[in-house]
Structure 1
Amino acid sequence: MSDLVQRYGVFLNVENPHDDARDALRQTVRTGMAAEQMGFRDVWVAEHHYSPFAIGSALTVLLSHIAAGTSTIRLGTGASLLALNDPLRVAEDVASLDLLSGGRIEFGVARGGPFPAQYRPSGIASAEVARERMHEALALIERLWTERDTCFEGRFFRYESVAVYPRPLQRPVPVWLASLSGQSPQIAAQHGYGLMAAPSADLDQVAERVAAQRAQRGAFPFAIARFFHCDEDGRRAMEHGIEAVRAYPRLMGVHFPPGKLPPMFAPDASNDVILANAIIGDPEQCMARAKALSARLGAHRLLLKPATHDAEKARASLALFARAAGLG
């Protein structure tokens, strides 16, 4: 399949189901490094806070370890939760990582997703406020990366005169908004940002919004993460992958507002609904699902999010897909 139509990456969430944080972190880094050896083009790492299960709170630390053990794979923040962090520090950390990695950073940003517990310690009243804060922080960071002296007057951030160093190697750093809702598509179009869809996003809605954006913008960078599990035995793959998807909302502590629950997370979601929104099966079935996405969405990056808590099984699953796709 042409790389211009669909290219493959890995989406990693640092999950700690066995209460062994050191191993969870090390296994995530190991999988990120292995992804390059398998031929994947991107590795994205999620950021979460205040959860004993999802412990990827130090996003640039994780990516720096992956960067040190790789040389070509693109390194994505999937996504940096700007509403919860000091934008000056994020600007410095990401710039340093871009320099150390040889200019391989993809800067994905998000407001914080369906995790209200993440907002409270930062004094953020709602998801809407978090979204406004995210967009304002992003505007500030982009100026900090290019201006010798920045004066900024916003609702959340105000600076008389500030400059941060070092500056990124890439000019500009690719920016992605991990949202297809609210004003994000319009802001992305205005600034030339890419758009990302989460693993749980309903494919019907995603396809509709991507088509609308292509009608307005023409070609634009788009990435979609999908829950993924591949096994030589297709039935075993489906049993394992579907079970993992069903358990995910409970383990992650997600809390969607009324009317916003993704169909695949509904308590009565059928296997067919889950499979329609995931890449699960034997290698042939997984490739068929990937090609169906390509036909429906057009050019995009497909990011595979392992639907397993067994790191060895996750890497074996990714290796099966890589071989079927002819990567490497």
Structure 2
Amino acid sequence: MSDFLQRYGVFLNVENPDNDARDALLQTVCTASAAERMGFYDAWVAEHHHSPFAIGSALMVLLSQIAACTSTIRLGTGASLLALNDPLRVAEDIASLDLLSGGRIEFGVARGGPFPAQYRPAGIASAEVARERMHEALALIERLWAEPETSFDGRYFHYEGVAVYPRPLQQPVPVWLASLSGDSPGLAAERDYGLMATPSADLGQVAGQVAQERSIRGEFPFAIARFFYCAEDSRLAIEHGVEAVRSYPRLMGVQFAPGKLPPMFAPDAPEAVILANAVIGDPAQCVAQAKALQDRLGSHRLLLKPATHDPELARTALALFAREAGLSAARSSGGAWSASCKA
């Protein structure tokens, strides 16, 4: 049984609306570092490729910078796109990050989401092929971390007598599947992985799937990301947050398969539908919405994805939530909070 009911974290996508890539990357590091000071439990960073807007393509590089600027907050890959990467390199990078961070890595993996432009340069024919490659790569990576020498003969990856070093500090590294569809829940149950729901996932559907999995599996690690915006003025918070959610599919270039479009991303989605699937409002409203998620989902991690392109507003919103929720500011150690990381 889990020893917590709800933990609060942040979910960060490196967004570059002003065409200033250096600032966008530094602001992401600053927000993750600030989240530690506010008392958030974990910070997850998304991986995207071939987009001028979502520029978190070098996920391991970015997380290493965040690790250097923090000392207590847990750091998640949200998610590592295994289908697009060399699994041996990913195994080495995650192990090194885990060692350098003092064992703070959460290894979230995904096939790549509704972004076909990410698959084509890698020669991947479909989302289903990407999913198969992801699962096979993950199985290989776990063996590489556990075995002195690995031979692997899969559909996509073939190795004979290979070993990777270093090995992670955590044994095992926590693994999360950023999917509730297909065979992901069954695989998670078989291998004791956590499951994650994306910011746009419909809450009603997610709640049903989580209840079903708990009826089969009992308690298990579950995380849900939600679009989030908090301001002292409730109406202004709603206007700002809802508009950011409405613009997100266009800016990200998402292309959902027929029948898979989340209700909140429909062109004519009512404000009520967006608000029902997000955490948006004044501080008291946002904390109340978070508590309602706890009542509905049981034990989970709530990952707040700022629904704003202004990093200062994002940090202010997170600070308002942290204060209202009574989060305890983390204590930095060893000078990890450097001037270059301050917001």
| TM-score, normalising length: structure 1 | 0.99
Deviation at 1:290, TM superposition (A): 0.4
Separation in 2, partners of 1:116, 1:226: 23
Q: Bigger relative contact order, structure 1 or 2, given CA contacts below 8 A and separation 6+?
A: 2
Give the partner amino acid of 1:126.
S
SS of the residue 1:108 aligns to: strand
User: What is aligned with 1:135?
Assistant: 135
Deviation at 1:69, TM superposition (A): 1.0
Kindly tell me: are residues 117 and 243 of structure 1, through their superposed partners in 2, closer, same or farther at Cα, counting changes over 3 Å?
Answer: same
Unpaired runs of at least 5, structure 1:
none
Equivalence map 1:127-166=2 (5 Å): 127-166=127-166
User: What is aligned with 2:32?
Assistant: 32
1:280 and 2:280 correspond: yes
Separation in 2, partners of 1:46, 1:173: 18
SS of the residue 2:106 aligns to: strand
SS of the residue 1:228 aligns to: strand
Over 3 Å off, 4+ runs: none
Aligned length: 327
User: What is aligned with 1:94?
Assistant: 94
| TM-score, normalising length: structure 2 | 0.95
Separation in 1, partners of 2:200, 2:173: 27
Deviation at 1:60, TM superposition (A): 1.0
User: What is aligned with 1:119?
Assistant: 119
Equivalence map 1:227-246=2 (5 Å): 227-246=227-246
User: What is aligned with 1:195?
Assistant: 195
SS of the residue 2:146 aligns to: coil
Separation in 2, partners of 1:244, 1:264: 12
Give the partner amino acid of 1:299.
S
User: What is aligned with 1:323?
Assistant: 323
User: What is aligned with 1:208?
Assistant: 208
Deviation at 1:3, TM superposition (A): 7.4
Give the partner amino acid of 1:187.
L
Give the RMSD, CA atoms, in angstroms. 0.8
Separation in 2, partners of 1:85, 1:70: 26
Separation in 2, partners of 1:61, 1:206: 32
Kindly tell me: are residues 54 and 12 of structure 1, through their superposed partners in 2, closer, same or farther at Cα, counting changes over 3 Å?
Answer: same
Residues 50-101 of structure 1: per-residue CA shift (max 9 Å, x gap): 0000000011111111111111100000000000000000000000000000
Separation in 2, partners of 1:53, 1:267: 20
Unpaired runs of at least 5, structure 2:
329-343
Deviation at 1:132, TM superposition (A): 0.2
Equivalence map 1:281-320=2 (5 Å): 281-320=281-320
Separation in 2, partners of 1:272, 1:128: 33
